[in-house]
Structure 1
Amino acid sequence: MNFKYKWWGKGDIDATFGVFFDGFSKILTATGIMLFAFGMPASIVIGQIVPAIGVATFLGNLWYFYEAKCLAQKEQRHDVTAQPFGIGASQLTGWLYLIMGPVYWKTNDAMLAFRVGLCAAFIGGIIEVLGAFAGRWIVKNVPHSALLGNMSASAIVWLSFVGIALVFDKPIYAVLPLFIVIIDYLGKADKRFQKIPSGLIAIVLGAVIAWSTGYLTPENFISSFDDLGFYVPHFFGGEILKGFKEIVPFLPVIIPLQINNFLSTLQGLESAKDVGDCYPERRSMVMDGVTTMVGSLLGNPFPTTVYFGHPGWKALGARAGYSLVVGIAYLLVCLTGLTGIVMAVIPTEAVLVLLIFVGFSVTGTTLQNTKAKYFPVILLSMIPIVFQYIQTLVNSAFQAAGTEAASITAEQLTSASLPLEGINILANGAFLSSLLIAAVLACVLDKRYFRAGAFSLGLAFCSFIGMIHCESIAWLPKTGVVLGIIYCVVALYLFAKYVIFERGKPHPLSESDTAAD
């Protein structure tokens, strides 16, 4: 049979808009912060960083298009969906506020902040590549429900929660498009006579409302052409070498963030596998690291990664075409200065409705492919991620008020019923603590108490070195010691259960031993 993969499907238009604007909103955020908060020169931000982002994301999307095409050809299926790819949200905020920001605020040297960011990204890419060789071991030993529950928690919080808040912040332009997506996609309403994708209708409707009400204006559209040009990335290998002299204090930030990054890629691969697209783990994870390193050499200080959302785009009927179009669009927009023009035509809030759907879809798919007894695992994994979002909101509110959390006394916070210390403890290292706590519960549900105790010791170790619950990695930080001791006690309790109830008895089948989850 002469099979030829049809790489463009009915959902590729929606996926193109959703994935492009998801990444594009991050680019705009980073650009604004670097230009106006850090005071970096436009010649570096617009002329070097943004073009390098375009090249890195183009290369990654081109690779995942090729990978999907190969899988479709191998299995002779037309319903293969490419992995979404771009700049990671947590990596972008981490690099801006935990690496580049502190350097700039301390030295007032924007170029030094840029150099350290590039060096950090290069090291981060190496960590991603190394993580690829641990991926299979992680899949084999970490309970499936904990792995996917952690991913779905991140998706529902950072895509759906954040998106809904922004949509209702500008309700005139985006609530109606949101309900179109809710009815047609989440509600799966009858669309037999509807030829135009609902996502496209929602975006066009949002743009029409924004233009009709004056939210978008001809003046802004005309002024957006001022930045048009052609920007070629430069080679920054020398700057990265110089950055190694300044990078050591930031390794405690880089290492956990990039561990989270390759775990995110791994979870994206697992979610794709759950809906029928089985991609090679190691190769995909290596490519994330390679694009991060290539991007840093060309001037992009932000790591790249596979996004959450593959099941959502697959549910819409997307194939591999959107990945190719998104990559080309990034390249075109980032190399030519079209960034402002796109945002002057389409309101960001109208595009966010697609990301809200993706967050719900990822979580829904996880629940559908998980046995009911593991639902508490998924719910538990959400708690640290939710508090990470709350921490972000609280810190942003403090910054907007012209103050810092450290300058407010505990008594003032207590009187306002704001348990800030508890929020910070749960939020710091949330991605990793969410995964480990969920893994403990999953093992207990399977009555595998020894393994549950081992994960508790993992929590203790991460606490003792400040990787979770603390602002940065440090040996035996105060909060980490307290919680580490508690986790050790929990481990002893679980080991006791193992000796009493489990040792010498055959194990019941767990989710890791069965094909169905």
Structure 2
Amino acid sequence: MKFKYKWWGKGDLDAAFGLFFDGFSKILTATGIMIYAFGMPASIVIGKILPAIGVVNFLGNLWYFYEAKNLAEKERRQDVTSQPFGIGASQLTGWLYLIMGPIYWHSGDAMLAYRIALSAAFIGSLVEIAGAFCGRWIIRVIPHSALMGNMASAAIVWLSFVGMAFVFDKPIYAVLPLFIIIVDYLGKADKRFTKIPSGIIAIGIGAVISWTSGYLTLDNLVSSFSQVGFNLPQTFFGEIVAGLKSIVPYLPIIIPLQINNFLTTLQGLESAKEAGDDYPQRQSMIMDGVSTMIGSFLGNPFPTTVYFGHPSWKEIGARAGYSVVVAFAYLIIGLSGLTGIVMAIIPHEAVMVLLIFVGISVATSTLQNMDKKYFTVVLLSLIPIVFQYIQVLIDSAVQAAGTTTAQIATEKFAEYSVPIKGIQILSYGAFLSSLLMAALLAYVIDKKYSHAGICAIVLAVCSLVGIIHCESISLFPKDGVILGVIYMIVALTLFSKKYLLEKQGGKVLSEDMSSIPNLN
């Protein structure tokens, strides 16, 4: 009997709203930053960047629909859920504030900033593709608890923490929708009395409140139509080649961010596997890199990735239909200039409640599938990522005050009990240091002291070259040297502990170093 995958499920509409507005809110924010904060011409942002974003999101989401359909037909299952896809939050922030902004402010040349950002995306795509060929090795080497705990920490911070801040920043519009999601999705309340998805109800109530209170107005809606216009993406091969001549100073930013990016994709694939959907790992990771590359050719300077959230969309009954809806929504809005109209109708604060649910759901799913002894691994991995968020808030706050963190003396922060240096050290390369610290602790819990020692050595090397704990990559930075030496002492202590326990006849788990797999 021929199997036919029914790709639209009861949760696809909610998932479509959640995924679209997750990515769309980032794009809207980036558009405002580029035009109003950086002063870049709207002809570049709306006429060149947004159409490329629309096309690459269209292609990427259709690809993940295709993957889900293939998996469903292969395993003859109707409950397959596609992977969420879009532009990564940390990559968007990094490209905006560490590449495009500084170049434009220094030179006043918008095209130069745009050109180098496109070249950075192209280089980043190569890093993503390279990551596909060591992904399986990473999974074998890094403890599963550390890999998934790191992902859960990033999800709870960058989705739930950030979402909560926006919701309570304007509580009248979004706190009621938030509690609808808390009661119905997180609390799994009785749903016999309505068949309307809770996400739609929450967003609808938020929109009604916003319109009746005057937060959203007809004048703003009418004025948003002035942005409407059909724009096809162009090709930027020449701009990318030209930008490569100036790319070297930005490699210390690009490489760690893109390592973060392919690890995010890898973690997304692992969380999907835990939820029951085992996608082809290398193929998916390569396609993320290819979509970033295609995007750079068409004019999108921001890298793409698999998002967090697959388990949460699966939990509410989504299949692959939401990927199709999101694909066409991005294409239409990207090419037509309808960005402003959508946000003039629906308040983004109300949509943020779905992202809060996704972050909590990802973290909950991770803990439910993890041995309790590894809960401390998750908590440890959370700390650097929290401080990364704190650092972003501090930088944004002082920028709003007309200065920068670098221009304020450390002593001034100390007067108000703000340990700014500690916050910065923890925030630099937070995703990678979080993962390595979590892996070290997981190995110690398993009494694999040699493996933990190797993690400490990797932490030391990363510190000595500025990949973690330092603002930029450089050989032997001051803070990197101090922490590198400390990590080496930790490594020696761990190796000594293993040696002494074995010598004294203590019971330790076998740690044959040959068990650590190689890249082959």
Shift of 1:508: 9.0
User: Counterpart amino acid of 1:470?
Assistant: C
Task: For 1:102 and 1:400, locate their aligned partners in 2 and report how far apart those are by CA, in whole Å.
Answer: 16
User: Counterpart amino acid of 2:385?
Assistant: I
In the alignment, is the contact (CA less than 8 A) between 1:448 and 1:502 conserved in 2? Answer: no
Task: For 1:411 and 1:362, locate their aligned partners in 2 and report how far apart those are by CA, in whole Å.
Answer: 39
Q: Structure 1 residue 266 and structure 2 residue 269: aligned?
A: no
After TM superposition, the structure 1 stretch with the greater mean CA deviation from structure 2, 26-35 or 150-159, is 26-35
Shift of 1:296: 0.3
Shift of 1:468: 0.3
Task: For 1:130 and 1:263, locate their aligned partners in 2 and report how far apart those are by CA, in whole Å.
Answer: 12
Distance 1:340 1:505, change over 3 A: closer
User: Counterpart amino acid of 1:507?
Assistant: S
Task: For 1:505 and 1:372, locate their aligned partners in 2 and report how far apart those are by CA, in whole Å.
Answer: 20
Alignment correspondent of 2:90:
90
Q: Report SS of the residue matched to 1:359.
A: helix
Task: For 1:462 and 1:443, locate their aligned partners in 2 and report how far apart those are by CA, in whole Å.
Answer: 19
Describe the superposition over 1:236-278 as per-residue Cα deviations: whole angstroms up to 9, x where unpaired: 0000000011101101110000000000000000001111010
What does 1:70-469 align with in structure 2 at a 5 Å threshold?
Answer: 70-469=70-469
In the alignment, is the contact (CA less than 8 A) between 2:443 and 2:451 conserved in 1? Answer: yes
- Residue identity over aligned pairs, in percent, reads 69
In the alignment, is the contact (CA less than 8 A) between 1:164 and 1:356 conserved in 2? Answer: yes
Task: For 1:81 and 1:387, locate their aligned partners in 2 and report how far apart those are by CA, in whole Å.
Answer: 33
Shift of 1:38: 2.0
Task: For 2:293 and 2:492, locate their aligned partners in 1 and report how far apart those are by CA, in whole Å.
Answer: 42
Q: Report SS of the residue matched to 2:191.
A: coil
Gap regions ≥5 residues in structure 1: none
Describe the superposition over 1:379-437 as per-residue Cα deviations: whole angstroms up to 9, x where unpaired: 10000000000001111110011112222222221110000000000000000000000
Task: For 2:167 and 2:137, locate their aligned partners in 1 and report how far apart those are by CA, in whole Å.
Answer: 40
Describe the superposition over 1:282-329 as per-residue Cα deviations: whole angstroms up to 9, x where unpaired: 000000000000000000000000001111111111100001110110
Shift of 1:127: 0.7
Distance 1:412 1:505, change over 3 A: closer
Task: For 1:506 and 1:2, locate their aligned partners in 2 and report how far apart those are by CA, in whole Å.
Answer: 50
Task: For 2:166 and 2:29, locate their aligned partners in 1 and report how far apart those are by CA, in whole Å.
Answer: 14
Task: For 1:456 and 1:85, locate their aligned partners in 2 and report how far apart those are by CA, in whole Å.
Answer: 33
Q: TM (normalized to structure 1)?
A: 0.97
User: Counterpart amino acid of 2:101?
Assistant: G
Alignment correspondent of 1:61:
61
User: Counterpart amino acid of 2:241?
Assistant: L
Q: Report SS of the residue matched to 1:161.
A: helix
Describe the superposition over 1:171-209 as per-residue Cα deviations: whole angstroms up to 9, x where unpaired: 000000000000000000111221100000000010000
Shift of 1:505: 6.0
In the alignment, is the contact (CA less than 8 A) between 2:466 and 2:480 conserved in 1? Answer: yes
In the alignment, is the contact (CA less than 8 A) between 1:447 and 1:502 conserved in 2? Answer: no
After TM superposition, the structure 1 stretch with the greater mean CA deviation from structure 2, 238-247 or 398-407, is 398-407
Describe the superposition over 1:74-122 as per-residue Cα deviations: whole angstroms up to 9, x where unpaired: 1111111100000110000100111111211221111000000000001
User: Counterpart amino acid of 2:309?
Assistant: G
Alignment correspondent of 2:488:
488
Distance 1:230 1:451, change over 3 A: same
Q: Report SS of the residue matched to 1:471.
A: coil
**Aligned equivalent of 2:510, options 481, 484, 507:** 507
In the alignment, is the contact (CA less than 8 A) between 1:269 and 1:279 conserved in 2? Answer: yes
In the alignment, is the contact (CA less than 8 A) between 1:207 and 1:350 conserved in 2? Answer: yes
User: Counterpart amino acid of 1:396?
Assistant: S
Cα RMSD between the aligned structures? Answer: 1.4
In the alignment, is the contact (CA less than 8 A) between 2:447 and 2:509 conserved in 1? Answer: no
User: Counterpart amino acid of 2:13?
Assistant: I
Q: Structure 1 residue 31 and structure 2 residue 24: aligned?
A: no
Describe the superposition over 1:473-496 as per-residue Cα deviations: whole angstroms up to 9, x where unpaired: 010000000000000000000001
Which consecutive aligned stretches of 4+ in structure 1 deviate over 4 angstroms post-superposition? 502-506
Q: Report SS of the residue matched to 2:305.
A: strand
Task: For 2:214 and 2:326, locate their aligned partners in 1 and report how far apart those are by CA, in whole Å.
Answer: 29
Task: For 1:62 and 1:175, locate their aligned partners in 2 and report how far apart those are by CA, in whole Å.
Answer: 34
Task: For 2:89 and 2:320, locate their aligned partners in 1 and report how far apart those are by CA, in whole Å.
Answer: 23
In the alignment, is the contact (CA less than 8 A) between 1:236 and 1:297 conserved in 2? Answer: yes
Task: For 1:216 and 1:342, locate their aligned partners in 2 and report how far apart those are by CA, in whole Å.
Answer: 11
Alignment correspondent of 2:10:
10
